[in-house]
Amino acid sequence: MTTALRSFLRYARYRGDVTLDLAAAVPVVANWSMPSIPRAISAEQTRQLLASIDRRTAIGRRDYAILLLLARLGLRSGEVAFLELDDIDWRAGQVSVHGKSGQRSEMPLPADVGKAIAAYLLRGRPHSASRRVFLRAKAPITGFRGPCGVGSLVRHSLQRAGIDAPTMGAHQFRHGLATQMLSRGASLSEIGEVLGHRDPNTTRIYTSVDIKALRTLAPRRHSSCRL
């Protein structure tokens, strides 16, 4: 809003409607670093959600594999939607992820995630010329059009399971993985590497999440001061 207002005032001065540089009087709005705490789905809620998926059906096997990718690897919804068959190296146990701005990274493929994807490919994925790993269940049988397809899948899965998650989106799994890694002692650089953060400041936001761990430090520090 302030940027637009400055532009308008500069234009007004250029036209001669005003003589003073009123754009310089528009105040600068503070851009606080890390203004909010990420809303992360808990490990227990993730377990409940995965347990609620009916893997006896083709759609269930697909949804289970997608949710595992979100929860175990912290992938973005778009990274899951655009994952292709050639991106999985079964022999090496790796998956090539296409991240933001064309960034490509190799990630280890956990055994349970690989098993879930294989189950879908063998006993769930419809016949299609598409090279996408995950396909729509309804015609036309193609890959998801974009991240919204994965987001919709997450929302419906949470609603069916009756889970009161922090949000209804897919990004909460990414936040959940980061907070779990932090609680287990992982460094910020390790978390940033897993999540594919190019800017270290992006990862720093998770230092404000583990309140429980911070509380345990308070009495220790207090007792050590008495020594």
Question: What ranges do the domains of the chain cover?
Answer: 1-31, 43-208
CA 148 from centroid of its chain's CA atoms = 13
- Mean pLDDT for 85-102 is 89
37-70: burial string, b at 16+ Cβ within 10 Å, e else: ebebbeeebbebbbebbebeebebbbbbbbbbbb
Inform me whether the pLDDT recorded for 35 exceeds 70: no
Nearest in space to 176 (alpha carbons), one of 1, 41, 14:
41
- Mean pLDDT for 47-70 is 97
Give the 3-state secondary structure of residue 73: helix
Nearest in space to 41 (alpha carbons), one of 204, 183, 164, 194:
164
Inform me whether the pLDDT recorded for 222 exceeds 60: no
Show Cβ contacts of residue 135 under 8 Å, excluding neighbours closer than 6 positions.
62, 125, 126, 128, 141, 142, 143
Nearest in space to 95 (alpha carbons), one of 122, 78, 75:
75
Inform me whether the pLDDT recorded for 86 exceeds 80: yes
pLDDT value for 163: 96
Inform me whether the pLDDT recorded for 68 exceeds 60: yes
- Enclosing H/E stretch for 88: strand 88-89
Inform me whether the pLDDT recorded for 28 exceeds 90: no
Active site residues: 76, 100, 171, 174, 197, 206
At 147-176, the pLDDT tens digits run: 999 999 999 999 999 999 989 999 899 888
Indicate the range of 63-72, 168-177, 208-217 predicted with least confidence. Answer: 208-217
pLDDT value for 225: 43
- 43-208 fold: hpI Integrase; Chain A (1.10.443)
Looking up tokens 């528009």 gives 26
Dihedral sign, CA of 142, 145, 146, 147?
negative
Asked if omega into 140 is within 30° of 0 (cis), the reply is: yes
Inform me whether the pLDDT recorded for 227 exceeds 50: no
Looking up tokens 């990862």 gives 203
Is-above-0.75 flag for pTM? no
Distances (CA, A) of 128 to 135, 144, 223: 9, 13, 65
Distance between CA atoms of 112 and 117, rounded to whole angstroms?
Answer: 9
Tell me the two tokens of residue 210: 């583990």
Distance between CA atoms of 75 and 221, rounded to whole angstroms?
Answer: 37
For residue 139, the 8-state DSSP code is S
